[in-house]
Structure 1
Amino acid sequence: MLIGVPKEIKNHEYRVGMTPESVAEAINHGHTVIVEKSAGLGIGASDQAYEAAGATIIETAEQVFAKAEMIVKVKEPQAIERARLQPHQLLFTYLHLAPDPDQTKDLVNSGATCIAYETITSHTGALPLLKPMSQVAGRMSIQAGATALEKSKGGKGLLLGGVPGVKPAKVVVLGGGVVGFNAAQMAVGLQADVTIFDKNPNTLESLSNYFGSTAKTLYSTQASLEEALLTADLVIGAVLIPGAAAPKLVTREMISKMEPGTVVVDVAIDQGGCFETSKATTHAEPTYVVDDVVHYCVANMPGGVARTSTYALNNATLPFILALADKGWKAALKDDDHLLNGLNVWDGKVTNQPVAEALGYDFVPPEQALS
């Protein structure tokens, strides 16, 4: 199969779909890989490194899209990229379609087969291609939040862990999944006062057993959440419903009652965000203020640590890339129900039920694409 790797063009997105090491694996499997010029510079991978791995360097993204059978990316295709997709092509990347009607419409109109990293499952029900970026984003959320708490950034002027004789900042984490767990780990490591909210009793028990007395766990109700928000210094939004838009757990009214200089970091912004006042921001302008509350809502947080993120992501995506290339996408999806769950758009149809429900499309079961 001819695999194409374009350079990412989203604002301050430095990751790349395949590392030179991943390219070498695909070449060893008998495939051809073309890489857009300078695509890997953001992770320190030169064109020469890709050529040494066996790839061919292509001058423009337009040429990559024109030639490739499978396009491997990191972030959702931007409008100019979507216009280049062809009906025979396979797109393999993060999509996050539920809060993005424009992208969904363009992908449907393209006729391409689009498999989303974030809805591929595992035998445990986990999301293996979302997990590494969730780990990165969870940990980054504390770094970003700690910086935003500085007075010069609009925050309260607090050091997250305090110092001897001065109490630490109060960190509230909404959701005890991969993002929330990693955020809590970082916050606890910095000696903050950490409370984690979740609705799953098993998750709460696991978190309590792991953190012991270093973090509190609470069952999430509107009343308990409102009470915690009133005195919080940093709130991490880490709630995910696979494929669907994130629930708006924190209303505009709740935001208005929070103390001035409080910081909220919405890691769920790729799925629309879990704060009612959230809107996507960029690494160039990461924050804005609503009712004196600082909002950090960068939609591609892991792009800020591109090298770590790309290698972590490739560790997870490479087996699926090879399966799709070795077998062809239909055979690969027939052989793996979990990979089949990643099929979001096919032949002008929406094949992911939460996306279809969120955006008003008729849902076509993904199995229909295999018949």
Structure 2
Amino acid sequence: MKARWARLARLQALQIVLILLFIVIVFSVLAPQAFLSGFNMRGIVVNTSILAVLGVGMTFVIVTGGIDLSVGSVLVLSGVLAAKSMAAAGGQGWGVALLGAVVACLTGLACGLVNGVLVARAKVPPLIVTLGTLGAALGIAQIITGGLDLRDAPEVLVDTIGFGNLVGQVPNLSVIALLVVALGIVLLHHTRFGLYTFAIGSNPEAGRRVGVKVDRHLIKVYALAGLLAGFAGILNLSFFQSTTIAGQSNTNLNVIAGVVIGGTSLFGGVGSVFGTVVGLFIPSTLQNGFVILGVQPFWQQVVVGAVLIAAVYVDQARRAAAQRGTSTRTSLLTQLGLRKESS
């Protein structure tokens, strides 16, 4: 029994949950009435929902050993083009809203394909490619709008997706994000697509030797990340009723921080969507708690940056320990949830 508890305590996902629980307890003690209110808890969940959609795609990218710095800008560009298309179509019905959603998703998919082709075919480092598309996507959005936010979201989209509730105080936006997370978990941990993703992150050359079309798969992974960024764009437009052009400067940091804090290794080959979601709640909870306590919001970025560095350091230390043989790493099949290691 003791060995089982010791093994459970070493699980990274559990450690992340305990960190989040500790943060919640601290803010609950410092501001119990404000922080623990139903309205505030709902706000944290809603604010994390859009990041969670982006985090699912980012998890796949980082598991391959890559990075995508462009998700915030792609979200903005997708929202801008969606708003423009809906304004041109006119009306406030579901037909116009569906048009905007399709335009947003196609925009994100196109950006993701550009990233994937440049990374996989042109062999440009992912950091450089996505840094370039970060600036390009944001620049195109500003050219189209003149730097001014658009607010052409149909009322049905705002009332139903942005502020609607499924049951009681359960927001539709969070339910949609939960469905995306669930699909991401299944895709990453229980399909061949996910298996290939882990294989490329662990050893791309070995993947080629067993028949994995590495370049084609990388394009698919970046396309998936772009598609989800586009989908997040229409969700963002629905909730904020604006394209928030100037409001996404920290989105990339928050998403990457959440993914890495959640246990996905920047070196590739290790990660989980569940860990990403828990990791994303950490910056969202910190930001919310700081606002309630009257702490300058800039401190939130300081803390998130520090936690991100600490998470990468811990991951690097574990990798070094594993290479020295002082600790064991679970097999690829275990990470995929396909087989349990014998105790």
Shorter-chain TM-score bucket reads under 0.3
Between 1 and 2, higher relative CO (CA 8 Å, sep ≥ 6) is seen in 2
Q: Which structure has more strand as a fraction of its residues?
A: 1
Q: Which structure has more helix as a fraction of its residues?
A: 2
> What TM-score comes out, normalization by structure 2 length?
0.27
> What TM-score comes out, normalization by structure 1 length?
0.25
